[in-house]
Structure 1
Amino acid sequence: MTDRRAVLAGGAALVGAGLIGSARAAAGVRAPPATTPGPTATGAAGVLTIEAAPGRSMDVHVWGPAGEAGTILFSHGAASSPRFYDRVLRPWALAGYRVFAPLHVDSTEHPRTAEFAGLASWRARLEDMHALANMVRREGAGTAGWIAAGHSYGGLTALTLGGAGATAPDGFAGPLSRPEAACVIALSPPAPIPVLITQEGYGQLRVPAMVQTGTLDIVPGITATDGEGWRSHLAAFEAPAPGGDRFGLVLEGVDHYFGGAICRHDLPGPMQLDRLADFNSLSVLFARGFGPAGQDDARRDLRDRVADRGAVRLSTR
């Protein structure tokens, strides 16, 4: 299985060796092919195929009902796949959200992944999410707006949809953000990487956001490895000016993959399921409070959970 920690190995590797190519070369193997999701596989209701860009189609995995609570667009981590996020996406679906999660070209399960080395995958991710947003608009599933969400590389993708000033990749035309993005849920987004985004770029985030990390969320090549490196995942929480309804969530003893519960099911564990349940609960409160519906009681409940001590530390600014 590809070591996804090597996928985001720093700005120099992004330009020189390629964002995804270096990780695959190191692993020398591909992940097993995905199966069509269903109630017995991931809980996804099915898969849609849409055009992401001229000459390139995209599979979109769908969780949830018609979206009584709202719509979430989710971007998976580098080299991963939507099917490795059922423990995040299913709780959102059970809370009434319809979740659309595309399979990006940097996934080891994508049939054309070799064609998108280096920053070509960044352009393709943005194309994917904009194509998905256009589909949601045409179908009327997000007429009141939607929530952008993602993990790691996908967290950066989601934050960019919400206005964070990422670096525009060569060949991408038009705005990077979307006005329909009402808020962002970002699990462990990367520390600033100059060829993708700077600290100042994170500071341009224009919508409410929940940014999550854990005290074991150390990614060699991206974060410092001195035991405090996990804090850099909070850049998107700390960089914007105060007063924008941003929440920073720190989970004690949680690593980049919740012990293999998300993104990388090949890890030996143990899975950090208690803290993942805490994230699920708080992210639903955030979505209800700051998504298009904007429920005042959910906002109050979430602010009541703010705490600077314990296994679940929630800050706001």
Structure 2
Amino acid sequence: MTRIVETGLAVSRRSLLAGSVAAAGLAVAGRALAASPPKPMPQPAVIELKTPEGRAVSITEWRPQGSPRGVILFSHGAGSAPAYYDPIIGPWVAAGWRVLAPLHVDSREHPQTAQYQGLASWKARIEDMRALVSHIGDAPFVAAGHSYGGLVATMLGGAQPVLPEGLQAPLVPRLARAVIAFSPPPPIPVLVTEAGYGALSVPALVQTGTLDLMPGMAADGWKGHLAPFTAAAAGGDRYGLVLEGANHYFGGAICDFSQPGPPQLAALKLAVERAALFLEGFGGGSARARRRLDRLVTEALPARLMKR
């Protein structure tokens, strides 16, 4: 069931990230959010889907001018919301992609977030993506996400996270054509194991940064965010991208605009450029884009790009 409910997206100044998924180790400190994203975006539509269980799911949908080149399903970080990813989503829409992003129940923008504490949000996120995949019919799609949403994106690419109580396999009705995961969580026993990430079965770009450290992580803990890349079988067009000086939020440029700055715009630009080539190559089917991406493979920073 689909219903257009409004256009645009009102963004409050409430804290986005306090306490989300605490049982899974993904909680971060909340702060008041900035009132607007750093760059304007075309007004999206907001549609409402229903899960088979009857729960309403709000979906932000950006449509490009003209016929879309393809579909991207995007999952936001813990406690965040689709509105806080314009620097990433905007270039995709400008390049002709239709992007749909649920407002997950763990978002501080969600009216019922208090009812979905801890791992209850994990089950709901899977239900959200099942509804969204069903909504787009048989259209091929690329899965993308940041942080908690990066785990969701890898799941849509064949990774096998821990099945929440009350759900049965398969986790999703069909797989994405490719995956773009910005800073997915490291293996966390209640969410995903290294072996579960290793089941990733489609081309993927997995990104992290040398300052991508969350509370309680070791100094080199940023490497854990590459687990979907390192655990997956070699030879499947998997890419690992490490950006020098980039933290989990690119200095507050995405996800939570109140993070300590300054915004890490140079690193974000590199991430967006590499993601654009990957999207063109493996979402759009361009052999030329794949060759260009492969020419960027290097062990050198500031943009170390690895391939397996």
Same fold by TM (over 0.5)? yes
**Secondary structure in 1 aligned to 2:51?**
strand
Q: 2: CA distance between counterparts of 1:8 and 1:214?
A: 22
1:281 has 2:273 as partner: yes
Choose 67-76 or 231-240, whichever is displaced more. Answer: 67-76
Q: 2: CA distance between counterparts of 1:302 and 1:84?
A: 27
**Secondary structure in 2 aligned to 1:288?**
helix
**Corresponding residue for residue 195 of structure 2:** 200
1:161 to partner: Cα distance:
1.0
Q: 1: CA distance between counterparts of 2:16 and 2:125?
A: 20
Q: How does 1:249-260 map to 2 (within 5 A)?
A: 249-260=241-252
Q: 2: CA distance between counterparts of 1:5 and 1:218?
A: 16
* Identical columns (%): 51
Query: Aligned pair count?
Result: 293
1:108 to partner: Cα distance:
0.4
1:307/1:5 CA distance change after superposition, 3 Å: farther
1:193/1:92 CA distance change after superposition, 3 Å: same
**Corresponding residue for residue 270 of structure 1:** 262
Q: How does 1:128-207 map to 2 (within 5 A)?
A: 128-137=128-137, 143=139, 145-207=140-202
1:300 to partner: Cα distance:
0.5
1:94/1:42 CA distance change after superposition, 3 Å: closer
Aligned residues of 1:44 and 1:64 also touching (Cα < 8 A): no
Q: 2: CA distance between counterparts of 1:88 and 1:194?
A: 29
Aligned residues of 1:64 and 1:94 also touching (Cα < 8 A): no
1:110 to partner: Cα distance:
0.2
Q: Which has the higher helix share?
A: 1
1:58 to partner: Cα distance:
1.2
1:31 to partner: Cα distance:
6.3
Q: How does 1:1-16 map to 2 (within 5 A)?
A: 2=15, 4=17, 7=20, 13-14=23-24
1:98 to partner: Cα distance:
0.7
Superposed CA deviations along residues 114-143 of structure 1, whole A, max 9, x for unmatched, are 111121100000100110111111xxxx62
Q: 1: CA distance between counterparts of 2:303 and 2:290?
A: 18
Q: 1: CA distance between counterparts of 2:223 and 2:190?
A: 20
1:310 has 2:307 as partner: no
Unaligned runs of 5+ in 1: none
1:180 to partner: Cα distance:
3.9
**Corresponding residue for residue 236 of structure 2:** 244
1:212 to partner: Cα distance:
0.2
Q: 1: CA distance between counterparts of 2:18 and 2:227?
A: 19
Q: 1: CA distance between counterparts of 2:21 and 2:215?
A: 9
**Corresponding residue for residue 45 of structure 1:** 44
**Corresponding residue for residue 63 of structure 1:** 62
Q: 2: CA distance between counterparts of 1:276 and 1:31?
A: 19
Q: How does 1:10-49 map to 2 (within 5 A)?
A: 13-14=23-24, 42-49=41-48
Q: 2: CA distance between counterparts of 1:102 and 1:266?
A: 22
Q: 1: CA distance between counterparts of 2:246 and 2:71?
A: 27
Aligned residues of 1:187 and 1:212 also touching (Cα < 8 A): yes
Q: 2: CA distance between counterparts of 1:120 and 1:148?
A: 22
How high is the TM-score relative to the length of structure 2? 0.88
1:46 to partner: Cα distance:
1.5
How high is the TM-score relative to the length of structure 1? 0.86
| Alignment equivalent of 1:213, drawn from 195, 208, 216 | 208
